[in-house]
Amino acid sequence: MMSTATENLKALDLDITEKDILKAEEIKALANKLFSDHKYNDAVEQYTLAISYNPKVPAYYTNRAICYLKTEFYGAAVRDADKAIELDKNYVKGYYRRAVGNMALGNFKEAVKDFRNVCKVAPNDRDARLKLIECEKEFKRIEFEKAIACDEHFDIVERIGNVDEIVLEQSYSGPHLPSEGGITLEFIKEMMECFKTQGKLHRKYVLKLLMEVKQQLEKLESLVDITIPSNGKITVCGDIHGQYYDLLNIFEKNGLPSETNMYLFNGDFVDRGSFSVECILTLLSFKLLYPNAMHLSRGNHEANDMNKVYGFEGEVVAKYNELTFKLFSEVFNAVPLGQVIGGKILVIHGGLFSRDDVSLDEVILKIFLLNLTKICVKLRKINRFRQPGHEGLMCELLWSDPQPELGRSPSKRGVGIQFGPDVTENFLKFNNLDLLIRSHEVKQDGYTADHNGKCITIFSAPNYCDSVGNKGAYIHITPDLKLKYNQFVAVSHPQNVKPMQYAGNM
């Protein structure tokens, strides 16, 4: 006897057989198991297969949507939620998943609408109610700031005032920044040990460090050229996402930064992990100490809208105050967008662009103009001293991802694009480059080599968010531009601090 659900389904689509329906349910059960095991990409494949057998079940789309949310493909999650709602206007999970996806993308107006729908249908859903309150608050804040916006520049340094006048409490027992001669390696080591035991650096020293490094970073171009000394190497690390104890493990395995043991951290220093303050202060301190040996590229999480949702703002406010966060934000605006190693390897956080006429510098521009009499866009000339926004060259550089297919596609993240091997090949050839190194994506082995080995992804946050189980990795690059991949596993951290601890209801 055919079930009522099956009969309804048959009425919708006569091409779907009962065998298809049963097969889809069998595959969904496997996908659910993969999701429970945190194998989100594998679960996506199985939900997609279930949908191919039976595309009329809203739950298949919302289940795949939560996998996309877990892997930060928010645009894809929103599209799946749209499909679920299209199939069933009363399907509350569709509205909930779409709201969470839009909230992650900073689309608070759309998220508020959907959370209101959820709360009407499920008034006792405490989680939805709390998220609605947070989204409403954030949407009102954004609208208020738009209303009072003016052309005057808000000088955060002037607002903070003379940091030297801040008094150290007698109870403070942490490290002291030298009053003369600038930052020292000894101070950084003491600070790292203090952080290791969950101690805090005094706000006075935090503000001094941030002001000094802000001035240093502001003098750099948006793309920084790096030359590796003949007796040294540079280590390229991907996302660390506030996983301080894994950062310490990198330094333990690979040595502290020095003039010959150079580092490049390729964005997403903060958010998700709840030791983001400790991570970024350590990296910025080494940047002050070794300006030519510690290099930083901005990631998509060095942005206010991401910090609001994924915990860094909450962490800074909890450990210091809101004014300190605003100074961090100004520092992030000054972090370069990428590096060029040895003139041949471009390192940026996300990926490539929705247009072909993107060059690195003026020399290429002149050749291009001479040959084709067409103006191209220069990466070195991007005005980076701002928030990245959700479109344009700077946004794409921070958000885009590679795809195996040729050409370009809309991003599953909802921001940036996806670019194929032909796009990578053409960009590298046009700019006389050999290789693109980027980060931005969790990889089970810590790295991948895509696009015929021309597009490398490196990710340095092992067991991401204490749940994914991935390895971390970093790359050694020698003066002759040879690459060596190094993998590592996660180390333990204090169990009283969980990922996203400071994100609150967001």
Catalytic residues: 301
Contact 454, 352 (CB under 8 A): no
Closest CA to 130 of 101, 106, 99: 99
Q: How far is 424 from 23, CA to CA, in rounded Å?
A: 39
Find all residues with CB under 8 Å of 503, minimum gap 6, and list them: 309, 310, 311, 314
How many alpha carbons lie under 13 Å from residue 138 in its C-beta half-sphere? Answer: 26
CA angle 466, 471, 475 (to 5 degrees): 130
H helix count then E strand count, the chain: 19, 16
The DSSP element (H or E) to which 236 belongs, if any, is strand 233-237
Find all residues with CB under 8 Å of 86, minimum gap 6, and list them: none
Contact 214, 334 (CB under 8 A): yes
Cβ neighbours, 10 Å, residue 165: 7
Tokens for 119, please give them. Answer: 């709360």
Radius of gyration of the chain (CA): 24
In 149-241, alpha helices (H): 156-160, 185-196, 203-218
> 77 vs 60, 103, 146, 493, CA distance in Å?
12, 11, 28, 31
